[in-house]
Copies of this chain bind each other. A is one copy, B any other.
Amino acid sequence: MIDKESGVPAYRQVADTLRDRVATGQYPPGHQVPSERDLVDEFGVSRPTIRQAIELLRSDGVLVAEHGRGIFVRQRPTVRRLARNRLSRAARDAGRGAFLADADEGGWTPSVSVRIRFEPAAGRVAELLQLAPGAEVTIRDRIMRADGEPVQLAVSHLPRELTQGTVLEDVDTGDGGTYARLEEAGHRLRFEELVGARMPTSEERTQLGLTRGTPVLTVTRVATSSGRPVEVTEMVMSADLYELLYDVSGD
């Protein structure tokens, strides 16, 4: 099974063969791959070499290993499609945040924990908010859960000056959330979102319960009021669970 003359490393040949079996459906999603010791026999290489091949496929998100049980072809959960244009004023006036609206549509039970803190502005957020470094910022740190499982992290930043003495420094900001309160205060909000992806930090991996080989989607949302940025939210979610839908029609 392994061609020693080809110049292709043995572990790569093993990985490619297994990858192929997954791609062609010979090993369908959820299927248990032969054990490492069986693969040793099949390919005629040592166990570390087999493990190296499997490591590769795990970090590529093709296989998952379960200690004591076996190695399985990764099963993708069904994605939640998030319609980002729900941020529009019309939807907000209906009195609910985007996360809650998605929840009934998807048929899951949402819950959110919030922590509030105040810090001097720094780094990218200070830049996006166009604040002098050191200006105080109100930070709303949230973990969103679907049926109890953490699925999304979100950290919002507002200039403290805008939140002082308002419910924006409380845990519960009321119907329609932060944006509804800002509009009541006379702001006409516009939104931009900056979407990227990367591998999670080890902290994010723990918080979101991610397996090896799963990247995260990052969304940075900037709310501006007559050209002045008033809020920046940084969101992190499993790329396995989410797809973001944008209406891009223009005019």
**Known contacts A197-B239, A198-B61, A217-B195; A190/B249 CB under 8 A:** yes
Residues on B with beta carbons closer than 8 Å to the beta carbon of A87: 248-250
- Residues A197 and B215 in contact in the complex (CB < 8 Å), given A59-B59, A250-B87, A251-B88: yes
Chain A contact-residue range equals 35 or more
Q: Which of A191-223 contact B (CB under 8 A)?
A: 191-200, 202, 212-213, 215-217, 221
List chain B residues, Cβ under 8 A from A246. Answer: 84, 192-195, 246, 248
**CB neighbours of A147 from chain B (8 A):** none
Of B55, B88, B194, B200, which one neighbours A245 at CB under 8 angstroms?
B194
Least Cβ distance of A227 to chain B in Å? 13
A31 at the interface (CB under 8 A from B): no
Scoring A81, A84, A197, A215 by chain B CB atoms within 10 A of each residue's CB, the highest score goes to A197
Rounded to whole angstroms, the CA-CA distance of A60 and B91 in the bound complex is 38
Cα–Cα, bound, A202→B93 (Å): 46
Contacts of A19 in B (CB 8 A): 202
